[in-house]
Amino acid sequence: MSETPCRRIQVDLNGQTALVTGASRGIGKAIALALGQAGAKVACIARNEEKLRETADAISAGGGTAAIYMCDVTDSAAVQKVVDSVVEDWGQLDIVVNNAGITRDTLIPRMSDEEWDDVISTNLRSVFLFTRAATQVMMRKRSGRIINISSVSGIMGNPGQANYSASKAGIIGLTKTVARELAGRKVTVNAICPGFIATEMTDAMGQVVQDEVKKRVPAKRLGEAHEIADAVLYLASDSAAYLTGHILTVDGGLTA
């Protein structure tokens, strides 16, 4: 697993404020680092204060600006409070990356109510909550970027992940609908569907399973977190101003 070592894509986000959920590790951390390196002030959101602090410190060490905000992303009041705090602290909110996600894998006959509800709440409800809160700010200033991290599992399904796949498919539907609602206010809403990316989540699968996964991917390798961060940078940039409601797969050809 690697973090973004340098700016791989040249995007200027100076003067902008970004919010990233699930910024404490993996893809979310790579996204937060990339946004910070591109010049954005980054609000790092998660529940693990120690890990969040590591992300913020890494952004600061690279010359960027970051702050941490502890939040249960499934709690409506807590989410609204965080968004209000970011706007109060930095005066604006330009980019929201809804990345927070968990898995509770098991086959559907054995899946408990709690395993279903936990994944749907963290992965899908959180996107709704942050999107609703952020659009109140973005619509007033008639600009903004909302970038949702879905998954190829939301497109093609994955055995043992009925809850996860449903949550990620829901993100796709939510993205397309909100994009239509907000396009007239110059707020773009897009989603990225990563394939198998080298993170702590894929490390937990073990080497044997990873080797089997690589055989299924036409590129014959796992993706890197910084490759998802690169896609986020593009969607956050001025170059993507006419791109909305798009579902971008970054999967080494898995869904081709």
**For the chain, how are helix, strand and coil distributed in percent, rounded to 5?**
50, 15, 35
Find all residues with CB under 8 Å of 215, minimum gap 6, and list them. Answer: none
Separation between Cα atoms, residue 34 and residue 7, nearest integer Å? 7
Backbone dihedral region for residue 188 (phi beyond 0: left; psi -120 to 50: alpha; all else: beta)? beta
Which amino acid, 85? S
- φ/ψ of residue 47, rounded to 5: -105, -15
Is 242 annotated as catalytic? Answer: no
* CA 144/CA 77 separation, integer angstroms: 22
Catalytic residue among 69, 164, 234, 242: 164
**Residue 105 identity:** D
Report the chain's terminal Cα–Cα distance, integer Å.
Answer: 25
Surface-to-core class of residue 131, CB atoms within 10 Å of its CB (0-12 exposed, 13-18 middle, 19+ buried): buried
Residue 32 has which token pair? 């937060």
| Coil, helix or strand at residue 34 | helix
Helix (H, G, I), strand (E, B) or coil at 175: helix
Give the catalytic positions in this structure.
Answer: 164
